[in-house]
C-alpha cells in the first residue's frame, strides 16, 4: 500500500491501482480498485487463526487468499 497525499494505491509490481475503502454489511472492509481497467475489483481484509493479515479476492467461481509474509 502506498499513500500519496489523500490517495491510496496498491502496487503489485505488474499492476498498480488507486483504491477506495468500502465497509461491507458483514462488518468486513474491502479495498476497491478505482483505476480504469480494474474498476470495481475488490480485496477484502481478513486474518488467519494465527493472526496473519489476509486479502481475499473473489471472482465468479473462485476465492483466493493472499497471506501476509513475515
pLDDT tens for each residue of 38-66: 899 899 999 999 999 999 999 889 999 99
pLDDT tens for each residue of 10-36: 998 888 999 999 999 999 999 999 999
Sign for the CA dihedral angle at 12, 18, 20, 21 comes to positive
Are the C-beta atoms of 22 and 32 separated by less than 8 Å? yes
Amino acid at each position: 500500500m502506498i499513500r500519496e497525499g489523500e490517495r491510496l494505491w496498491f502496487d503489485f509490481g505488474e499492476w498498480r491501482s488507486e483504491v477506495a475503502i468500502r465497509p461491507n454489511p458483514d462488518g468486513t472492509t474491502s479495498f476497491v480498485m478505482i483505476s480504469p481497467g480494474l474498476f470495481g475489483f475488490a480485496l477484502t481484509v481478513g486474518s488467519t487463526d494465527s493472526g496473519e493479515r489476509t486479502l481475499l479476492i473473489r471472482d465468479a467461481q473462485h476465492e483466493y487468499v493472499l497471506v501476509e509474509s513475515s
